[in-house]
Structure 1
Amino acid sequence: MAAACARSFSKVGWSLLESPLVRRPGTGFYLSGNAGARVSGRGYGTGSGLGLRSRLLSSLRAGGGRVLGCAFLLGGGLGLYQTVKFSAQQHLAEEHCKVQGDGLKLVLYQYKTCPFCSKVRAVLDYYGLPYEIVEVNPVMRKELKWSTYRKVPILMVDSDVQMNDSSVIISCLKTYLINKKKSMPELIRCYPEMKSVNDRGKEVTEYNNKYWLMLSEEDNELVYPEKGMQKEERKWRQWADDWLVHLISPNVYRTSGEALASFDYIVREGKFGNFEGFFAKYVGAAAMFIISKRLKSRHNLQDDVRQDLYKACNDWVAAIGKKRKFMGGDEPNLADLAVFGVLRVMEGLQAFDDMMENTKVKHWYRRMETATLNHEGRK
């Protein structure tokens, strides 16, 4: 559109330059030749008295319409300049985006309200990595029929590399962004699966090294310039997985009313059919209200589970301290992004409002919100 307007200005300019001004008795001047647009003196003084417009045209007689033509050419030139400038900026932005994502095609299979999926989204958003989302139906999970791994999140890279487990995904992505010498398939092999049976007799899959970045000593010093930073990041990433995430369900399903409100949100944001949505909202809310009581017992939570949530948030803020904006310093690290991703799934629910009102986490949370929304990790 801008280019078309610029070209039009230029054409008019050349027409004016090539078309002499001809006096028409009693009216002033009109453009002859291709311009052909009559210049009327109406409203500016006509007849024997020269109005403002007539005086202006008289001043242009010496050079014909060349001054006016130059003005149009100048406008067209400026328009073309702005068009080229905009196109160049757009091209640079696209190239920058390609550099950040390095041309990777990323597809995230998720439940929107899953805290582990939210962690991965926080990292992708913060670093400005383009990605597609496939919302998985939590009842049928037909979107995952192609995979033997039936949990979310799953991140597919270039349609042929499958990455499982939120912490492995995050560590792989961060390692790749820092040093692209190794491909994604090579990096995934650094986080081998380890199957075991838990105390309830259920087979579980764990991943070795999942909180580690696979960096050279030189890169490691650049990412963690101060002593203890790497250890601190790993500690709090694991804390988010092993403790903080287990506080979410007992708090959002704390009462029957909160359980119903939570499932109303889940159904609204998730991928459910009409019958599935109705079933999930009412039967699911009742079931999770009961299950949340068992979770409270399993994880040794207080009767008032809000107190555990409040303490966790205040412990997190205390670990950051008063001199740092984020645990990573002036910029979020992977622990910041993990904790933010977990807490974010409660937004819009009573538990979130209570947390923001009764803990010291609010200012840090808002800074994280801004950093993620603005893709500040691109720099």
Structure 2
Amino acid sequence: MAAVCSRGFGRISSSFLRASVVHRADSVSYLLGFRRAYCSRGTGLRSRLLSVRPGGGRLFGCALLLGGGLGWYQTMKVSVQQLMAEEDKKDSEGALKLILYQYKTCPFCSKVRAFLDYHGAPYEIVEVNPVMRQEIKWSTYRKVPILMVNGELQLNDSSVIISSLKTLFISKDKTLTEIIRCYPEMKSVNDRGKEVTEYNNKYWLMLSEAETAAVYPHKGMQKEEMKWRQWADDWLVHLISPNVYRTTGEALASFDYIVREGKFGTVEGFFAKYVGAAAMYIISKRLKTRHNLQEDVRQDLYKAVNEWVAAIGRDRKFMGGNQPNLADLAVFGVLRVMEGLQAFQDMMDNTKVKHWYRRMERAALNHEGHPLYASKPRTSREE
């Protein structure tokens, strides 16, 4: 940042000096020409010039100064514009090219989008067909989200994607390839006999001691963030399906939304909407049993959301303080997938989450985690 400012001031100063020399030379030429004309025209012209009212000389001098000043202003303006264009070009050339393979209604994909939106990181979206998944047939990792970086580095798992990119945004001496090695893949078999892939350290940021102190200035901030990020993955996300498929009507409305927002063919969409809704209604009952949820699963959702709000407390806008941290972004991303459904409206009406949620909505919409966009006007709903 300091180097950019130094180059900028250097270029502007050079332009200013060049402009000063040019305009001074123009002024001298003008005056010399004026003198020659005065001397050659004889007494007629001389008498007319000498008959100018008192103060005319001052007006003439002011006119010269005004003309020179306007010239300097225009020159400096052009120089600044050229400098800004050059710096913007350098920034765009150095930016990461990010492609996110996702299902729009997947809470883990929504977490990644919330993170990228908040930090103002440009990215492309490839919506994956959830039936055929042809869009990710090139990958041995068959789940979403997948984030491709610069067309060559593949990042898997929403929490690993977020932790590695956040580390990259903060750290000045690490490459993304080096950072991703800190999150090794580990395969295991879960209690249902299914092979699962996990990633070590996925809630950690790989920062130096000084960087860690700058990001987490108060005792306990880092552990709190990690705890609630894991809570969002291990508990909150499992409350979504039982709530959006709670009744046959809600299941049908949910699949209507999924088909509308997802990537389905005409026939696939029809079967997904009606067959999928019926299947997920049944599966949601099994999930309720597996996760020991109450008969009215809304109560578990309300309880979880109120626990989150209580953890933030009354004295903080976000868990991160005045700005969201990674836990804020994770919880927001998970809850956001219910927008437009009955479960979301019930949650907003029956919990204390509304004000925090609207603040998060604005922060993501306005890219408030990116210094270049932090001053943009707020355009979403106010509290």
Taking the aligned partners of 1:293 and 1:223, their CA distance within structure 2 comes to 42
Question: Which of 157, 168, 171 is residue 163 of structure 2 equivalent to?
Answer: 171
User: Secondary structure at 1:261's aligned position in 2?
Assistant: helix
Question: Of 112, 116, 120, which aligns to 1:124?
Answer: 116
**2:295 matched residue in structure 1:** 303
The answer on 1:319 being equivalent to 2:343 is no
Q: 1:97, 1:129 within 8 Å by CA — same for their partners in 2?
A: no
Range with greater deviation from structure 2 (364-373 or 181-190):
181-190
Percent identical among aligned pairs is 77
Distance 1:227 1:150, change over 3 A: same
The match for 2:272 is 280
Q: One-letter code of the match for 1:108?
A: L
For 1:1-379, list aligned pairs within 5 A: 102-379=94-371
Cα distance in 1 for partners of 2:80, 2:199 equals 48
Closer/same/farther in 2, CA of residues 78 and 217 from structure 1, 3 Å limit: closer
Deviation sequence 1:189-224 (CA, Å, 0-9, x none): 100011111111100011000000000000000000
| Separation of aligned partners in 2, 1:78 and 1:182 | 42
Bigger shift: 139-148 or 182-191? 182-191
Q: Give the number of equivalent residue pairs.
A: 305
CA distance 1:206–1:80, shift in 2 (3 Å): same
Distance 2:86 2:240 in 1: 43
| Matches of 2:342 and 2:273, distance apart in 1 | 17
1:78 CA drift (Å) = 9.6
1:87, distance to aligned residue in structure 2 (A): 7.0
Distance in 2, Cα, partners of 1:122 & 1:361: 17
Aligned counterparts of 2:369 and 2:74: Cα–Cα separation in 1: 34
- Deviation string 1:222-248 (CA, Å, 9 cap, x unpaired) is 000000000000000000000000000
- Deviating 4+ runs (over 3 angstroms): 76-98
**TM-score, structure 2 as length reference:** 0.75
Q: CA deviation at 1:184?
A: 1.3
C-alpha RMSD of the superposition: 2.2
Contact 1:97 1:128 in 2 (8 A): no
Q: Output one character per residue of 1:313-348: Cα deviation in whole Å (capped at 9) or x when no partner.
A: 100000000000000000000000000000000000
Give the match's secondary structure for 1:286.
Answer: helix
Cα distance in 1 for partners of 2:86, 2:350 equals 47
User: Which structure features the higher share of helix residues?
Assistant: 2
Residues 64-121 of structure 1, C-alpha deviations (whole Å, 9 max, x = no match): xxx9xx9xxx9x99999988877766665665666xxx42111000000000000000
Change (3 A) 1:80 1:334: same
Q: Which amino acid aligns with 2:225?
A: E
SS of 2:140's equivalent in the other structure is: coil
Q: Provide the C-alpha distance between the structure 1 equivalents of 2:275 and 2:199, rounded to a whole number of angstroms.
A: 34
Q: 1:338 to 1:286 in 2, by over 3 A?
A: same
Q: Secondary structure of the residue that 2:369 maps to in structure 1?
A: helix
Aligned-partner Cα distance in 1 for 2:82–2:358 = 34
Give the letter for the 2:368 counterpart: E
Q: What residue identity is the alignment partner of 1:121?
A: R
Equivalent position amino acid for 1:224 in 2: Y
Cα distance change on mapping 1:277 and 1:220 into 2, 3 Å: same
Flag structure 2 segments of 5+ consecutive residues without an equivalent. 1-62, 372-383
Task: Say if 1:297 and 1:369 are closer, same or farther in 2 by CA, change over 3 A.
Answer: same
What letter corresponds to residue 186 of structure 1 in structure 2? E
The range that moved more, 186-195 or 329-338, is 186-195
Q: Give the drift of 1:185.
A: 1.4
C-alpha separation in 1, matches of 2:132 and 2:363: 35
Distance 2:228 2:89 in 1: 34
176-185 vs 349-358, which moves further: 176-185
Task: For 2:238 and 2:85, locate their aligned partners in 1 and report how far apart those are by CA, in whole Å.
Answer: 44
Are the counterparts in 2 of residues 126 and 375 from structure 1 also a CA contact under 8 Å? yes
The amino acid of 1:240's aligned partner reads A
Gaps of 5+ in 1: 1-66
Pick closer, same or farther for the CA change 1:291–1:342 going to 2, 3 Å: same
